[in-house]
Amino acid sequence: MRASCRAADGIGVAVNCWVGRRTMRIEDYGKVAATFVDTQTGVTLRLVPRPTVRHAARVYAPQAVNKWDAQLVGYQLMPADELFEVQQVQLRTSIEQIISRPGRKAICAVCGEEIMNEREVLREGVTLCRACAGESYYALLADFGALPVDLPVLVRAG
């Protein structure tokens, strides 16, 4: 499943899929959409809110005092086919790669950090983590080896 974080919380409750259980995966495309994969059949459906959904919520909740309230009440009353457009899609990454193998562990030959769930990369027979393979979302500025300041200071800094 792919969805924004706020929507992901609601979807998790509705379909009992969770990041921590590895039954939900979040991809930040700045959109609200959810893709569901039947891992037995491979059928993959993407649900997208219809562009008219916010206006329609007002129709279903005319007593609402504001837009937020209208959406909260209206979305609960609105038929699903009026809420969502449904698309059949094909994943660009196989479901086996997305799910990977839980419990599998490897050690990166460069940084020495543990890599879980078959997320390692093999380059010319060498096991690397994605960061050392050049797929990092961050750039290392300094390696202090331990926290240089109290953790709450780091959290406050964002």
Among the listed residues 64, 98, 110, 121, the single contact to Zn ion using CB under 5 A: 110
Binding segment for Zn ion (CB under 5 A), chosen from 51-59, 63-71, 87-95, 107-115, is 107-115
**Cα–Cα distance for residue pair 136/129, rounded to 1 Å:** 9
115 binds Zn ion (CB under 5 A): no
Which C-beta is closer to Zn ion: that of 1 or that of 129?
129
Q: Which of 11, 53, 83, 129 binds Zn ion (CB under 5 A)?
A: 129
Q: Report phi then psi at 95, rounded to 5.
A: -65, -30
**Residue nearer to Zn ion on the CB measure, 57 or 106:** 106
Q: What is the identity of the amino acid at 57?
A: A
Give the per-residue contact string, 54-93, with Zn ion (x = CB under 5 A; - = no): ----------------------------------------
CA 47, CA 140: separation in Å to the nearest integer? 38
Q: Which is nearer to Zn ion, 7 or 110 (CB)?
A: 110
* 100 token code pair: 């990977």
Rounded Cα distance between 112 and 139, Å, is 17
**DSSP state letters, 44-60:** EEEEEE-TTHHHHHHHH
Question: Do 70 and 64 form a contact (C-beta atoms < 8 A)?
Answer: yes
Residue 132 interacting with Zn ion (CB under 5 A): yes
Residue 106 makes contact with Zn ion by CB under 5 A = no
Question: Among the candidate windows 13-21, 69-77, 100-108, 148-156, which touches Zn ion by CB under 5 A?
Answer: 100-108
The residues, any chain, with a CB within 8 Å of residue 56's CB and separated by 6 or more, are: 50, 74, 78, 82
Binding site for Zn ion (CB under 5 A): 108, 110-111, 129, 132
